[in-house]
Structure 1
Amino acid sequence: MALAFQPAEGWAQTLPGCKATTLQDPVREVLDCGNGLIIDKEAAAALASQAPQRSLDLDDRAILIEVSPRDSFQVLTPHAIATVRGTVFAVDVESGTSSVFVVDGKVEVSRRDGSSAVLLGPGEGVDVRPGEPLTVRNWPQPRVDALLARFGR
């Protein structure tokens, strides 16, 4: 169900009620859904919305999500489910790995099959790979900087 990159107008239709803006350096789209949900998406990210608009499928690349404290939100990848309530976090999908990093707030990350879960706080991340334990780590600053630079931050 993943969608390839679409122009900003296409994303506004994919996520009803969201206003899409294309930004440069690096090229990416920011979707402001007006309900406390802001999605900053790499241009090549393979992303699809789920109904109701409280979850997304991410099959490739990365997104940075901001969710207001009163709302919850989920990002589903081939390997993991990241569930949040009032936070800023990034999800990055590469072949065989889904990585979740928390900038602010709390995020619960579980395996896609629900077999195990961990809770992440600010500065913490987890790499979800088939057959490997979910290990919460404080990510080194160079890794954090490289990920956030993909969103101009």
Structure 2
Amino acid sequence: MTESLRRPALAFLAVLGGLLWFGPGASAQQLAGCTRDVAENPRRFVFRCPGGLTVEAEPGSGAAVASAAPDGTPRAVSVRAKAVLVDLEPRQGRRFEIRAPQAIASVRGTVYAVDVSRGQSSVFVVEGRVRVAGRAGQGAVTLSPGEGVDVRAGAPLTVRRWPQPRASALLARFGR
């Protein structure tokens, strides 16, 4: 495989112990101009990518680019633990998803959070609409602002309006 074909295939983003890693010889600027900042109170990593995509990740989330466009712009990010917050400006025909152990949350433009804890992936929508599919074949639901779903293997997907304390506690982890 040539280097020009290998680099996009190998490039990925991971937050491990506070380090950003894009694969051999790559840097944040080489991934379609994505930049990384560290935000405080609370501490989190903020990735800004072309096309109006911002992903905030808690340290230790294991966030990683799971799929990228030919130009390197992330199309999907996986998260193994803790939480990420996504802000994606609406754009015709553009899709983006977060892949968690129990769920896949996909959007075209919105603000939402995905929180992964032992045996459960929770998705909460701040703005827009998010489609959430269970990875164990439970089907899919669409969430609107203020709604969330807790996804567990084998359990049905039930959309609920989250109580203010729960929504506020999740968003506070991102300084909101």
Which structure has the greater CA radius of gyration?
A: 2
Write the deviation string for residues 41-98 of structure 1: whole angstroms up to 9, x where unpaired. 1122111102312001111000000111113201111101101111000000001000
Matches within 5 A, 1:53-132: 53-70=74-91, 71-132=94-155
TM-score, length-normalised on structure 2? 0.80
Equivalent residue for 1:50? 66
TM-score, length-normalised on structure 1? 0.91
Q: Which has the higher strand share?
A: 1
Give the deviation of 1:6 after TM superposition: 3.1
* 2:38 counterpart letter in structure 1: T
Structure 2 unpaired stretches of 5+: 1-11, 69-73
SS at the partner of 2:108? strand
Structure 2: distance between partners of 1:15 and 1:135: 40
Write the deviation string for residues 10-38 of structure 1: whole angstroms up to 9, x where unpaired. 46539812110001111101111021100
**Ranges of 4+ aligned residues in structure 1 off by more than 2 Å:** 1-8, 10-15
SS at the partner of 1:143? helix
Alpha-carbon RMSD across the aligned residues, in angstroms, is 2.0
Percent same amino acid at aligned positions? 47
Select the structure with the greater relative contact order (CA < 8 A; seq sep ≥ 6).
1
Q: Does the CA-based 8 Å contact 1:91-1:99 persist in structure 2?
A: yes
SS at the partner of 1:54? strand
Distance 1:95 1:118, change over 3 A: same
Distance 1:15 1:57, change over 3 A: farther
